Structure 1
């Protein structure tokens, strides 16, 4: 048994010395935002369809992405086509949207909700009381009882009513989640 020697890698504390490679400092990429010294671990594209990336900290990545326009440089038809393709591709995720963590006013509104808010001429962070008030005001202007026989007014009323129903359903989902 003179040839066997027990390894020093057993038990606690560690009996052998640490390698020099374990003592070397790791490189940490800093945020690409001028003046920021936080860790830059969130990649963001420098331009549409470009492989080049900025690396931001969490705060600056959120700021950068808030102004990012995915459809920049596309004409109206291409925008509509790409939006439809994305919506079709991601339809499976819509089934699980009630598991989301966010609430209204923080960018969690869907595209349908945003269009409904545009119809009612409201901001994205409007609460439900403001939505209800805007709906009633606009509906009174174009209601079929107020403008009988006016086809355009009837169409506007239906659009306003549909917008309100979309926003009401979204509010009910938020209240149910809450």
Structure 2
């Protein structure tokens, strides 16, 4: 048995990995000077060039952070290009409802988020914080405090409506379990 190679499958060929071998693989290093990370993110060296830099993820993010799609265009050309992009990609707009539209965990509706904005709160505010903010703001513009002030009355109505929207949403959540 001279020249026979020994394998690690102990007679069970299915234990071998597909395409696996013991040879060393070549790993490209990041092209950023001094970086020793794996360079697996290609970036063009110049516009319309086939030559590429290969950066690690951190340096690729740094490279792309200063990228401006509208660089070198005047205001009218920017608007025209943006409108063209929007019309050409309008077919993808129907999928926007799958993403988060606002901050928070995605459990609040757009109306609730607007109501929280009126009260000056973040998307993750709880019912106690909502009630506290509503009381503090309502005390300042209540019609009994500022009689005859139409602006204060309008602001109070806006605060009242925001609080009612949030209170009804909280009751729905509690009812659902």
* Greater C-alpha Rg: 2
Q: Report TM bin, short chain.
A: 0.3 to 0.5
State TM-score, norm by structure 2. Answer: 0.44
Using structure 1 for the length normalisation, give the TM-score.
0.44
